[in-house]
Structure 1
Amino acid sequence: MWGDLNEARQSAINGQWSIRCDNLEARIKSLTQVVGPTPWDEIQIPLLELGIYQRHAELCIDVPEVQPDMERVAKLRADLERQAAAARR
């Protein structure tokens, strides 16, 4: 579902948010309450960088143990950008 949300954001006007995103967020909330939160290291980097994943707390779900290590996220982003730059050469 998180991957679907990331794709929905990318295809939304200006890459921000859409009704489809709202629907996916509601489904994620419902499923998270049943099966628990998805570990942060399985979430797409843009959803972490923008704080979308961290909004679990706003969804009334207690997930303090799944807060992302933003230093690690930044390192992953830098590694991906280096790989992309190398591939363009």
Structure 2
Amino acid sequence: MIDERKLEAVARAELVDLWGDLERACQRAANGRWSIECEGLVGRIKALTEVVGPTHWGLVPLTLLEADLYQQIHASLNVDAPVDMEQVARCRAYSNSL
């Protein structure tokens, strides 16, 4: 028998990992922004998001929030995923102070 709660937890964990993979793919892209690899990851992020809902923005790399990628991806799915950009700015300031 399938444990649906466990399956959902695994899907949510994979979604968090995909956001990190997307950040790294953007960094590796020839132009430093976007590549075919990024497109593939976004497709996977969208597919899982449609199943389990959005990943909380606090679990997504700051660079993707600052670049508005997280927000754009969710908007393209018509999924409400608000981001506290003031908190993002505080996190960035703290990160830069280390």
Q: Verify same fold: TM over 0.5.
A: yes
* TM-score bracket, shorter-length normalisation: 0.7 to 0.9
Instruction: With the length of structure 1 as denominator, give the TM-score of the two structures.
Output: 0.86
Within the candidate set 32, 35, 42, 2:49 is matched to 32
Task: Please name the residue that 2:34 is paired with.
Answer: 17
Task: Please name the residue that 2:13 is paired with.
Answer: none
Q: In structure 1, list runs of 5 or more residues that go unmatched.
A: 84-89
After TM superposition, what 4+ stretches of structure 1 lie above 3 angstroms from structure 2? Answer: none
- Does the Cα contact within 8 Å between 2:27 and 2:33 map onto a contact in 1? yes
Within the candidate set 32, 45, 49, 2:66 is matched to 49
Q: Percent identity?
A: 49
Note if 1:61 corresponds to 2:78.
yes
CA displacement at 1:19 relative to structure 2: 0.1
Q: Letter of the 1:8 partner, please give it.
A: A
SS in 2 for 1:33: helix
- Does the Cα contact within 8 Å between 2:26 and 2:34 map onto a contact in 1? yes
Q: CA RMSD in A?
A: 0.8
Q: Letter of the 2:31 partner, please give it.
A: N
Aligned length: 80
- Does the Cα contact within 8 Å between 1:4 and 1:24 map onto a contact in 2? yes
- Does the Cα contact within 8 Å between 2:49 and 2:55 map onto a contact in 1? yes
Instruction: With the length of structure 2 as denominator, give the TM-score of the two structures.
Output: 0.78
Q: Letter of the 2:64 partner, please give it.
A: L
